[in-house]
Amino acid sequence: MRRTLFIQLERLGDLIQTTPLLEDFRQSHPDHEIHLLMLEENRAAIADFQGVDHCHFLPQKWVGKLNRQIDQQRDQEHLPALTIINELGLPPFERLINLTHGALGCWLAERLSATGKEGGLLTVEGNWFWQGAWHAYLLAMPDFRQHNRFNLVDLYRGAGPGGPVDSCRRPYVYQAKSLPFAVPQGKLIALNPGASRDHRRWPADRFAKLAEQLAAQGFTPLLVGAPSDVATSNEVASHLDTVITDVCGKTSVPEMAALLARCELLISNDTGAIHIASAVGTRCVGLYGASAWFSETAPWGNGHLIIQSPLGSSMGSISLESVLATVTAALGEVEITTTGTESVWRTHLDADDPLGGIRYELLTATLSEEQQFIQHFRGAFGRILMGKNALSAEHPQCPSEADALAASQALMGMTALAQQALAQIQSEAPTAKEHIEALGKGLETGLEALIETAERLPHVAPPIYWLQWVLRTTPVSTLAELLALRVKECQRAALILETTVHLHQQA
């Protein structure tokens, strides 16, 4: 029996965002028995899910406690974690794909039996390694967040076969067959004012004003959310002049899914509810700001609208007028106008690169030349990291193209240095050691210069930072393996840059 284990010990939203990968993997590996290690608290969310054969569960309180303990003493064996391995009693696997960044998940991934492993691994020596090009991209992404155009769902999907997806496709969540309360009549619009942290919440008084405006337009607004959001929902209610239905904290995840499936629209901060709504096919207007960035965690599906305030800015910078205009557009397909510094993006599930998935369309402004160039990194990464041929660029036609081709040439030079050093290892010449040391210094100097270039010219940064993380976190045991890694990955980074230029020239 061929078996694959996926480890996903993150929150509900992350689990829902993992389901497209599991479905892709099921389709491309019909002979594999698929196992999933996940949080006990998320069990109900994927009831009846056909993408997995066997689920294994850990309580969230155990995971949180062991994450802290292991992170503080990474080179220790941790008896409670060893006990978990024994109690799980998992069989050997052909593949193990760890989608968890927490210490316990990486600790387990290193110690569970599998022929091939991807994602984070925490070794017995306390070293943290990451295997897989898309996993390295996810690590590098904070260094170039505003230039990233990959949704987390699609980064997860990179661990599978990838490929274009149907525009009607969506993630999975189980829907309850009934609800524990009567659903109000009318055209329902759900408002989810909660979020994991205070600074990621749109102000409660504006949610209240939005609810009143929607009611005046003939819609039936209702407040929804998890039990942890009740205080926030009560704050919204305190600003209302009229009473609206409030079911915050009164639904399980399957019941929330069933309720949202009956709604015309969900208006929500970046939190689990928005992924539940996308999974049941309900359109979303997402409110993103502070530390939330739309391209990473927008709802995965077709036709959702995301209002993004500048990264790092207060959620209060999103105006009520802009939200109302976006909601009106979502319900009636009219033109969107904003009153502040927000941008509005629409999701399209039609990316045509080899990875496929979500493409983002800016609705409220025109992209600058540099922004247009940056958009093509998605197609270039998707092409090269999925193993397709690179595309050749012509003579540069703008400064962004010239900078990218210069960086690409520098990377090809580093590739040549690594190849020369690798050849010297096989040489019996008496000066081989000195040559290898000199070439190694050249490689380090070249990488340092490229990092400085990325800091100075952020429009060429994504492949350079990706390369830095690949070289930093991929496990190697010999000098020959290290040099072979540099040959492969410096060349791939160079090809990503050149392919980006080609795509920009053909646009």
The answer to whether position 179 is within a domain reads no
Closest Cα partner for 223 from 273, 286, 148, 161? 273
Q: Are residues 334 and 439 in the same domain?
A: no
Q: Is 12 helix (H, G, I), strand (E, B) or coil?
A: helix
Q: Are residues 407 and 468 in the same domain?
A: yes
pTM of the model as a whole: 0.96
For residue 4, the one-letter residue type is T
The answer to whether position 145 is within a domain reads no
Q: Are residues 308 and 198 in the same domain?
A: yes
Closest Cα partner for 256 from 471, 79, 83, 44? 44
The answer to whether position 115 is within a domain reads yes
Residue 340: predicted pLDDT: 75
Q: Are residues 345 and 272 in the same domain?
A: yes
The answer to whether position 142 is within a domain reads no
CATH of residue 114's domain is 3.40.50.2000
Q: Are residues 311 and 441 in the same domain?
A: no
User: Tokens 């009143």 — which residue?
Assistant: 212
Q: Indicate whether 472 pLDDT > 70.
A: yes
Q: Which among 323, 348, 365 is the end of a domain?
A: 365
Q: Is 423 helix (H, G, I), strand (E, B) or coil?
A: helix
- The pLDDT > 70 percentage for the chain reads 99
Using CA atoms, how far apart are residues 82 and 67, in angstroms rounded to an integer? 14
Tokens of 138: 């996810």
Q: Are residues 360 and 474 in the same domain?
A: no
Residue 77: predicted pLDDT: 85
Residue 366: predicted pLDDT: 86
Q: Are residues 356 and 408 in the same domain?
A: no
Q: What is the pLDDT of residues 271-313, one digit of tens each?
A: 999 999 999 999 999 999 999 999 999 999 999 999 999 999 9
Average pLDDT in the chain: 95
The answer to whether position 53 is within a domain reads yes
Q: Indicate whether 339 pLDDT > 70.
A: no
Residue 332: predicted pLDDT: 84
Using CA atoms, how far apart are residues 495 and 384, in angstroms rounded to an integer? 7
Q: Are residues 222 and 352 in the same domain?
A: yes
* pLDDT (mean) for 353-370: 92
Using CA atoms, how far apart are residues 347 and 357, in angstroms rounded to an integer? 10
The answer to whether position 174 is within a domain reads no
Contact 132, 123 (CB under 8 A): no
Q: Are residues 238 and 355 in the same domain?
A: yes
Q: Indicate whether 365 pLDDT > 90.
A: no
Q: What is the pLDDT of residues 137-151, one digit of tens each?
A: 999 999 999 999 999
Q: What are the C-alpha distances in Å from 70 to residues 6, 80, 85, 314? A: 20, 10, 15, 34
The answer to whether position 386 is within a domain reads no
DSSP secondary structure string, 56-91?
Answer: EEE-HHHHHHHHHHHHHSTTS--HHHHHHHHHHTPP
* pLDDT (mean) for 78-106: 96
Q: Are residues 339 and 459 in the same domain?
A: no
The answer to whether position 157 is within a domain reads no
Q: Are residues 351 and 203 in the same domain?
A: yes
Residue 436: predicted pLDDT: 85
- Note down the domain range covering 212: 188-365
Q: Which among 345, 365, 385 is the end of a domain?
A: 365
333 pLDDT band, cuts 50/70/90, is low
Number of domains in the chain: 3
Q: Which among 340, 365, 390 is the end of a domain?
A: 365
Residues 6+ apart with CB under 8 A from 133: 158, 385, 466, 470, 492
Residue 425: predicted pLDDT: 86
Q: Are residues 198 and 345 in the same domain?
A: yes
